[in-house]
Structure 1
């Protein structure tokens, strides 16, 4: 923790020698007050939902090249201050040019990136990782991002196992459109993991904007490389803006396990919102769970 804070302090101190476009300090704080039931009784809690801060930027080199970088950490303002309060997120050094971009370090896998904005409850209790494998932020990785060609782009992540007993992994994705649905009304992706964190996974994703509605769907099949057990599932999501508010709902299935979520976000400003949501899970071989939360988020 002390080393991470020292790195941040040194980086911030150097901002006076850098142009603004070369370094961006950013982050968000997202905290909820929750009534939670993990299957053994209801209780109340305060929870931080992937609150974070980081540094990112680029620096122009010769011959049309630029060096890119990001150092991001997750923090928990709702918990006690201890060594678990800060943990690493995406942290990499990259090289970009007309060929695309190569990033080396810790990064979200291509399959994880391919989901775009379809998971409307990302970082909350109903994050798709609760039921699905494949939401991997992999260390010891090399990622290549192609330039965009007629709306198509691709990402390939090579995961170095860093162990004589392990197997290197590959995560790849082909994407079309804008995952934020700001520059296009369609987003689609097809992704595959091979030997990534013990699973082979195929995921197909799509989202469209129609009459103000954002309609999303995903299908996934995953197989454990150790047990060869294969499971299939799907997800559907819908969001609809109403003035400063946005209504959203989501349903996810993996074999006999399923989860449902509904919520509303309300903007207080460009970077600030209040929100509320309810999530319920029905598990075939585990205790059922449900959560009710209200929260506040501010980005900087």
Structure 2
């Protein structure tokens, strides 16, 4: 644990010394904590939960001739203090690469293109209603080489290659085509289609779309997945909606996972955010999972998120 903290301190302090020759260095982070009542099938209990809180550094360095170095080192920090020894700080995206007229190439640990293809459609990402709780594919993989093409008429292509890293493993590939802006600022619609091949033991196809109609942001996602041996086949869909009224944003989301063997699962989440400032919001949500043959789960929470 102490060694891990020292590594982070060295990395962050080193970034300050880089500022004399790097064009851009940022120290950033997010603190997200909630007080919630959780019921995972054996009765309810209260807890304070850290929801993917993080700290990191990122930046660029202009090499001239249209070539730029891109780098990031991000760590998840469990601010609730109840993690197992050595697990309170874990690695998130960490990479270095080059960008230019050809696009960008990154090496290191990174979200796969399929994970990136969700854009902002998952309105409860990092919380209990996150789509990863019912579906596969939300992978952050080590030993990757990622490529994104330049944007052309709002289209962009991305590829993640995952090296096997051992004799008995298989290389994986994640490919996506993106259209528009995930934040819906440069375009009225965001859409993507993505495929995983032999990534963490699964083959997955996912299609995503999100847009704004009369002030309501609507999103939808469909996914098929199966293990590389052809078992555990699943068809799923998810729909989401949010509407902002002054400082309050109302949100709702429904997700389903229908397995070929009949073990169907579904989840619904409703919630609201209250903006205190651009950096800070209060939020509340209720999530309920119907796990068919498994134990149903329910979560009721209120929390705060601060970005810096």
TM-score, scaled to structure 1: 0.97
Matched, 1:211 2:214: yes
Q: How far is the alpha carbon of 1:185 from its aligned partner? A: 1.1
Q: Secondary structure at the match of 1:284?
A: coil
Distance 1:197 1:71 in 2: 23
Which runs of 5 or more structure 1 residues have no equivalent in the other structure?
Answer: none
Partner of 1:229: 232
Distance 2:57 2:4 in 1: 12
Matched, 1:291 2:302: no
Distance 2:31 2:208 in 1: 28
Partner of 1:66: 68
Partner of 2:24: 22
**Bigger Cα displacement from structure 2, 3-12 vs 184-193:** 3-12
Equivalent pair of 2:137/2:204 in contact (CA under 8 Å) = yes
Matched, 1:9 2:9: yes
Which runs of 5 or more structure 2 residues have no equivalent in the other structure?
Answer: 259-263
Q: Secondary structure at the match of 1:112?
A: helix
Q: How far is the alpha carbon of 1:9 from its aligned partner? A: 2.6
Q: How far is the alpha carbon of 1:288 from its aligned partner? A: 0.4
Q: Secondary structure at the match of 1:61?
A: strand
Q: Secondary structure at the match of 2:12?
A: helix
Q: How far is the alpha carbon of 1:56 from its aligned partner? A: 0.2
Distance 1:2 1:68 in 2: 29
Distance 1:147 1:224 in 2: 33
Q: Deviations over 1:118-173 (max 9, x none)?
A: 00000001100011000000100100011100100111000011111111000000
Q: How far is the alpha carbon of 1:24 from its aligned partner? A: 0.3
Distance 2:269 2:32 in 1: 18
Equivalent pair of 2:18/2:25 in contact (CA under 8 Å) = no
Partner of 2:269: 261
Distance 2:12 2:290 in 1: 46
Equivalent pair of 2:223/2:235 in contact (CA under 8 Å) = yes
Q: Secondary structure at the match of 2:41?
A: coil
Q: Deviations over 1:34-86 (max 9, x none)?
A: 01000111110010000000000010113211111000000011124741100
Matches within 5 A, 1:131-150: 131-150=134-153
Partner of 2:261: none
Partner of 2:49: 47
Q: Secondary structure at the match of 1:23?
A: strand
Q: 1:17 to 1:195 in 2, by over 3 A?
A: closer
Partner of 1:92: 95
Partner of 2:241: 238
Partner of 1:193: 196
TM-score, scaled to structure 2: 0.94
Equivalent pair of 2:248/2:275 in contact (CA under 8 Å) = yes
Q: Secondary structure at the match of 1:8?
A: helix
Distance 1:47 1:214 in 2: 28
Distance 1:13 1:130 in 2: 36
Alignment length (residue pairs): 300
Partner of 2:181: 178
Equivalent pair of 2:25/2:59 in contact (CA under 8 Å) = yes
